[in-house]
Chains A and B, each alone.
Chain A
Amino acid sequence: MSFVTSHFNYVVVIVLMMGGLFITFSTGNLIKRMIGLAIFQTSVGVLYISLGKVAGGTAAITIEATSEAGRALSSKLDPGYVAQYGVDGVVYSNPLPHVLILTAIVVGVSTLAVGLAIAVRVREAYGTVEAGEIAAADQAAIAQADRRKSGGRGR
């Protein structure tokens, strides 16, 4: 199999990952940055799930090989392939990446909420969620404090 077909999923993972990173880097808006991070996170999920896919496999919910569904699945595959890679006569995809990504998605939305909560508090403190304006407000506050300090000494 050529590189393009056998590694297509990984190239898409990299494109999505870099896209998420680009959104995070290029925009100053804190909410948009969180969206970029969320896309970055899904790309990691795509990588894990792609690695866990087994050609000709089915979801990791065990079925009797002698049942109709089991026979239907096995009949589509080469018997030698089933004998080598199957479990009790049926080929399954790898369940371990599924477990890892399932919990990662729910943890991801929780951490997204934390990030957004910080953005909301930043907005309340600065009146903006643009990183550039926040930095400018900080600079202005520092300059003002310096002026007050030097003015106090002068008197």
Chain B
Amino acid sequence: MKGGLVSLQFLNSRLANGLDLILTRTYFNAAKGDYRMECTVEFDKQQFDQIENILNEELIETGVQSVLLIDLAGNIIVSLDNGNINHDIYSLAALAAGNFGAVNAMAKIIGEEDFSLLFHKGEKESINFSKVTEDLLLLTIFSKDLSLGFLRLKVAEAIRKIQNLI
């Protein structure tokens, strides 16, 4: 089979197994003396769909306006909304990753491992950040109709379910 841009033997075999998403990281393989790419997160089709379902069920259906699952480099993995949203999600994801990274670095400077709450309150809409795994971040945009406390409960539940899948 002709290799596609990224659909080489490795990827072809993964596709055959129904793999849906690959996050990669380059690492130095000392044994081989070169740089290789490893997959830090792999979702198969079923997991991908399940993640979307979880986010829909726990968050969108509860009244959250918009949900973005992104990686820490600023790439979007899942984007869901209630149909009324028209944000520039690409810029949002890039900025969110940068913001989260910056705040995380600040935490380390003051001797904290992490901050348990990163939340920006707006007049009408607010944004909450939550870490899902080492590489994944969940961004929720919600209106003042929803309390932060309740949202955090729902987010924690969604994250718990997603972590069980991975």
**A pairs with B:** no
Residues of chain B at the chain A interface (Cβ within 8 Å): none
